[in-house]
Amino acid sequence: MSEKIWIILQKSNHLIAMETKISYNTVEHVFAIFQHRRWFSVPPAVPKKIDTIRKEENMMTTLYEGAFAKVNLTLDVLGKRDDGYHDLKSVMQAISIRDDIEIDVDTDAPWTLQCSMADVPQDNRNLAWKAAETFYQVTGLKTSGLAIRIQKRIPTQAGLGGGSADAAAVLRALNQHYGNPLSILALAEIGAQVGSDVPFCVLCGTAMVEGRGERLRKLPDMPDCFFVVCKPDFSASTPELYKKLDESVIAHRPDNQAMESALLAGDLEKVAENIWNVFDPIVTQEHLEMNYIKSIFNTYGAIAYQMTGSGSAVFGIVTEFEHAAVICNMLKENYPQIYIAKPI
């Protein structure tokens, strides 16, 4: 039996409804995985686009902005710098897994931050708070109070840039609220003061990222595909991974030039051939379940798969939604944090 469903896929700050047909059993499985994450629903009509919105009550204004996850199509560590950071070179891709950010401006009260995940810092340690502080410091603008609320969907400690995405969303929302006093590039420069991945998360899309993350070059859009993202229960320590990388010889490095050429040609197969992350072999060696996750990706139709960032999430590139749904069905029992996304 086949049934029509609507798949809600996020692109930029908009929702897009795409109609597809898959088997009824698959629909049941997909709904079981994703319904509580709001990824799938059956709307009565094509949903309205979601943009940054203002709602004025008295003098307070509420802003709404989406915060989008990223994956590393390539990730190379070139060496340790004098300041203790490492020089990186990575092709990053924004994907449609998103957090939702609400900001009350001019609250006439002390600053607050609330997050739907209890283990996320809910004070000035949070990158979203730091982004707001930095924005006001750089622009010289004033507010009588700020309240930030974060509805988390991006898994934490996954290499998906969730905290950086939240910070970038705060910067975009505040900048728009005050009439865009800063260009998008200036906003990305502010983001570099907050966190290494924030500049990319301000811009989104596809980009070559270098240095500590502050140097970006826009690349052609990722060819159309689906991403399946699976977050295992464990998390990897980023400082420990860098230490191990510093003490080892990197046997294989990504070919960033080949990846850029594949994107220029719009060749998804070549993109898939050139994904590589120098952290992947280290984490896979220590956590053998990564091999199991990758084997499911390989068996059920992914054309490429690897860990993103310093982990521990693994993503696969899939050309057909049906394949993505099957992969999710195979992994959902052991790994409930599993998502289907689109490049944005």
The domain that holds 255 is classified in CATH as: 3.30.70.890
**Is 171 a residue whose pLDDT tops 90?**
yes
**CA distances for 311 relative to 65, 72, 180, angstroms:** 26, 10, 35
**Does one domain contain both 71 and 146?**
yes
**Does one domain contain both 126 and 246?**
no
**Does one domain contain both 147 and 175?**
yes
**Is 5 a residue whose pLDDT tops 60?**
no
State which of 188, 218, 248 marks the end of a domain.
218
Reported residue count of the chain is: 344
Give the Cα separation of 228 and 79 in Å (integer).
31
**Does one domain contain both 160 and 240?**
no
| Average pLDDT of the segment spanning 183-196 | 96
Identity of the amino acid at 328: C
Give me the pLDDT at residue 84, please.
82
| Average pLDDT of the segment spanning 51-69 | 75
**Is 137 a residue whose pLDDT tops 50?**
yes
Yes or no: say if 330 and 230 are a contact pair by the CB < 8 Å rule: no
Give the Cα separation of 134 and 140 in Å (integer).
10
Closest CA to 342 of 9, 2, 8: 9
In the block, residue with structure tokens 């596809």: 206
Yes or no: say if 147 and 103 are a contact pair by the CB < 8 Å rule: yes
pLDDT band at 44 (very low <50, low <70, confident <90, very high): very low
Give me the pLDDT at residue 40, please.
32
Domain of 9? 2-37
Q: Is residue 320 part of a domain?
A: yes
Q: Is residue 325 part of a domain?
A: yes
pLDDT band at 190 (very low <50, low <70, confident <90, very high): very high
Q: Is residue 42 part of a domain?
A: no
**Does one domain contain both 210 and 272?**
no
Look over the chain and give the mean of its residue pLDDT values, rounded to a whole number. 86
**Does one domain contain both 83 and 17?**
no
**CA distances for 58 relative to 64, 65, 164, angstroms:** 18, 21, 31
pLDDT band at 83 (very low <50, low <70, confident <90, very high): confident
Give me the pLDDT at residue 18, please.
37
Give the Cα separation of 83 and 255 in Å (integer).
26
**Does one domain contain both 148 and 241?**
no
In the chain, what percentage of residues exceed pLDDT 90?
Answer: 78
The contacts of residue 92 (CB under 8 Å, 6+ apart) are 70, 71, 72, 73, 197, 200, 206, 207, 209
Give me the pLDDT at residue 134, please.
98
Give me the pLDDT at residue 113, please.
98
State which of 173, 201, 218 marks the end of a domain.
218
Q: Is residue 45 part of a domain?
A: no
**Is 52 a residue whose pLDDT tops 60?**
no
Tens of pLDDT, residues 259-271:
999 999 999 999 9
Q: Which of 47-51, 157-161, 216-220 has the lowest mean pLDDT?
A: 47-51
Please, what is the end-to-end C-alpha distance for the chain in angstroms? 32
Q: Is residue 120 part of a domain?
A: yes
Give me the pLDDT at residue 42, please.
29
**Is 92 a residue whose pLDDT tops 50?**
yes
| Average pLDDT of the segment spanning 145-169 | 97
More confident site: 18 or 171? 171
| Average pLDDT of the segment spanning 293-310 | 97
Give the Cα separation of 315 and 321 in Å (integer).
15
Give the Cα separation of 196 and 188 in Å (integer).
10
Q: Is residue 49 part of a domain?
A: no
In this prediction the pTM is: 0.83
**Is 10 a residue whose pLDDT tops 90?**
no
**Does one domain contain both 161 and 214?**
yes
| Average pLDDT of the segment spanning 245-257 | 93
Q: Cβ-count burial of 300 within 10 angstroms (0-12 exposed, 13-18 middle, 19+ buried)?
A: buried
SS3 263: helix
- Two structure tokens written together for 341: 């996304």
**Does one domain contain both 265 and 141?**
no
**Is 331 a residue whose pLDDT tops 80?**
yes
**Does one domain contain both 190 and 337?**
no
List, by residue number, the catalytic residues.
70, 197
Give me the pLDDT at residue 13, please.
37
Q: Is residue 7 part of a domain?
A: yes
How many domains is the chain built from?
3
Neighbours of 181 (CB within 10 A): 14
**Does one domain contain both 31 and 60?**
no
**Does one domain contain both 193 and 321?**
no
Q: Is residue 259 part of a domain?
A: yes
